[in-house]
Amino acid sequence: MNNLKYNIFFYLTLVFTITFQGCGGEQNAGISEGIIKYDITYPYFKDKFMLSMMPAEMRMEFKGSRYKNTVDNSMFGSSLISNCKDSTLIMLLHFGQKKIYSELDVALTDTMIKKNGIPDIIALNTTDSVAGILCEKYMGVFEKLEDGYDCEVFEAKGIALKHSNWCNPYQSIEGVLLGYEVDQYGLQMRFKASEVSEAVVNDSIFKVPANYKKVSLERMLYEVEEIFKNLL
């Protein structure tokens, strides 16, 4: 049961505090509607059994000024819907029969970002291809980590999203991130795009399903804690 607890925790962490990606800007050249799939790896986590329980992929669907990030499996799922035009975020959680959602404004979003490491960005003045998209390459340096940790960061060219990082730790980078890392609760997680596809995205995916109940953020976190308690 402890393994199941960790599985749920990491799924929730990924969507709630990491995957704030994408704000539309139709005036930019490139793909303005589509899907990005990211591989998720844990470069410094050594427990092979726990690694097998952790999520391996994140899916981002974007259109105009909205996007939806999703991480799920057969028993649990969480998503984040962002309306960048209005600077609002909606978090959704389902576990068994429980289906709830909560809304965050820009102030709450900023608070969540500041709790995590914000790296210094060093331009490397070089390019690379990630998932077939030309990217500018940077180095992200996390000063708070004693070992002087740094990571590779890839800024996409050819995706029409404006100010895509307004609500993540890489706010100084204009383009969409196709490769980056984050440090969350002492766990280093690496995201790298495996596929970028231009596709029709239905507006309905940005709506909260009718069978979800709205709760406060405090209630959302309480419900997550209760799930953990029941799994112990």
- The 8 Å CB, 24+ separation contacts for 80-88 are 80/15, 80/16, 80/19, 80/20, 81/206, 81/208, 82/20, 82/22, 82/23, 82/167, 83/206, 84/22, 84/23, 84/24, 84/163, 84/166, 85/23, 85/24, 87/166, 87/167
Per the structure, how many domains does the chain have?
1
Give the Cα separation of 63 and 199 in Å (integer): 10
Give the Cα separation of 10 and 185 in Å (integer): 10
Neighbouring CB atoms inside 10 A of 187's CB total 14
Q: Which domain holds residue 217?
A: 2-231
For residues 102 and 215, is the Cβ–Cβ distance under 8 A?
Answer: yes
Neighbouring CB atoms inside 10 A of 195's CB total 14
Q: How many H helices and E strands in the chain?
A: 4, 12
pLDDT tens over the chain, length 232 residues: 555 555 555 555 555 444 444 454 444 458 999 999 999 898 888 888 877 777 889 999 999 878 898 888 666 788 988 887 787 888 899 888 889 999 987 777 677 677 666 888 999 999 999 999 999 999 998 776 555 568 999 999 888 877 777 778 888 898 889 999 987 656 788 999 999 999 999 999 999 999 999 999 888 878 777 765 654 4
pLDDT of residue 196: 96
pLDDT of residue 149: 67
